A and B are shown apart, each in its own frame.
Chain A
Amino acid sequence: MVWNNHENSNMSDQHDVSTQSAGTVTVPDPHRRRLLKQLGIAGAAGTTAASAPAWGGSTLLDALGGFFQDQYQRMSPSEIEAALARIERKAKRDLGVDIHCDNTPPQAGVVFGYALNVSRCRGYRDCVQACIQENNHGRDPSSTAYIRVLELDHGQMNLEQADQYYDPETVPVPGKYYLPVQCMQCADPPCVKACPVEATWMEPDGIVVVDYDWCIGCRYCMTACPYWARHFNWKQPTIPADQVNPDTHYLGNRPRPVGVVEKCHFCIQRTRKGRLPACAEACPTGARVFGNLLDPHSEIRYVLANKPVFQLKSELGTEPKFWYFTD
Chain B
Amino acid sequence: MIRPVTLCFPLVYLILTMAGVASHAADPQAGFQGYPEAPAFTVLPREAPLKNYPCMRCHDFLKVKTEPRQLRAPHPELDHGAGRFWCLECHDPENRNSLRTTPPIATNSNEIHTLCGRCHATQERDWYFGAHGKRVGLWQGEREILDCVRCHNPHQPAIQPRKPQPPPAVRSGLERPAGRPEPVVPIWEQAVDGLEQPREQQHE
| Chain A interface residues (CB < 8 Å from chain B) | 117, 122-126, 128-129, 140-143, 145, 148, 153-161, 163-172, 234-235, 271, 274-276, 280-281, 283-286, 289-292, 297-300, 302-303, 306-307, 325, 327
Contact = CB atoms under 8 A, between A and B. Distances in A.
B176 interface: yes
The 8 closest A-B pairs by CB, nearest first: A299-B130, A286-B134, A125-B165, A274-B140, A141-B169, A170-B161, A302-B129, A165-B167
Interface centre among B132, B188, B203 (most CB of A within 10 A): B132
A283 B134 contact: yes
B172 A297 contact: no
Nearest to B127: A286
Contacts of B119: none
A191 B168 CA distance: 23
B130 A125 contact: no
A297 B130 CA distance: 10
Contacts of A306: 129, 131
Contact of A154 (B129, B136, B139, B186): B186
Interface of B: 39, 122-123, 126, 129-141, 146, 151, 159, 161-173, 176, 180-181, 183-184, 186-188, 201-204
Given A143-B169, A148-B168, A302 B202 contact: no
Nearest to A277: B139
Contact of A161 (B136, B169, B184): B184
B161 A171 contact: yes
A145 B169 CA distance: 8
B169 A142 contact: yes
A306 to B, nearest CB: 7
A166 B184 contact: no
Contact of B165 (A129, A153, A157, A172): A129
A214 to B, nearest CB: 23
Contacts of B186: 153-156
A275 B136 CA distance: 9
Contact of B132 (A123, A143, A158, A327): A327
B136 A281 contact: yes
Contact of A271 (B39, B139, B151, B173): B139
Contacts of B123: 327
B132 A286 contact: yes
Given A275-B138, A284-B151, A156 B184 contact: yes
Contact of A122 (B161, B183, B203): B161
Nearest to B187: A155
B18 to A, nearest CB: 12
Interface centre among A158, A164, A283 (most CB of B within 10 A): A158
Nearest to A156: B184
Given A166-B164, A327-B132, 9 more contacts: A124-B162, A153-B186, A274-B138, A285-B159, A290-B139, A298-B139, A302-B129, A302-B130, A306-B131
Contacts of B171: 143, 234
B169 A128 contact: no
A167 B164 contact: yes
A238 B171 CA distance: 13
A166 B184 CA distance: 16
A165 B178 CA distance: 11
B137 A276 contact: yes
Contacts of B181: 160-161, 163
Contact of B151 (A143, A156, A285, A300): A285
27 contacts: A124-B164, A125-B164, A125-B166, A141-B169, A143-B169, A155-B187, A156-B186, A159-B204, A165-B176, A167-B166, A171-B162, A234-B171, A274-B138, A274-B140, A276-B135, A276-B137, A280-B139, A285-B151, A285-B159, A289-B130, A290-B139, A298-B39, A299-B39, A299-B130, A303-B131, A306-B129, A307-B131
B69 to A, nearest CB: 31
Given A140-B172, A148-B168, A286 B133 contact: yes
A62 to B, nearest CB: 27
A275 B168 contact: no
Nearest to A302: B129
Nearest to B123: A327
A292 B140 contact: yes
Contacts of A154: 186
Contacts of A280: 135, 139
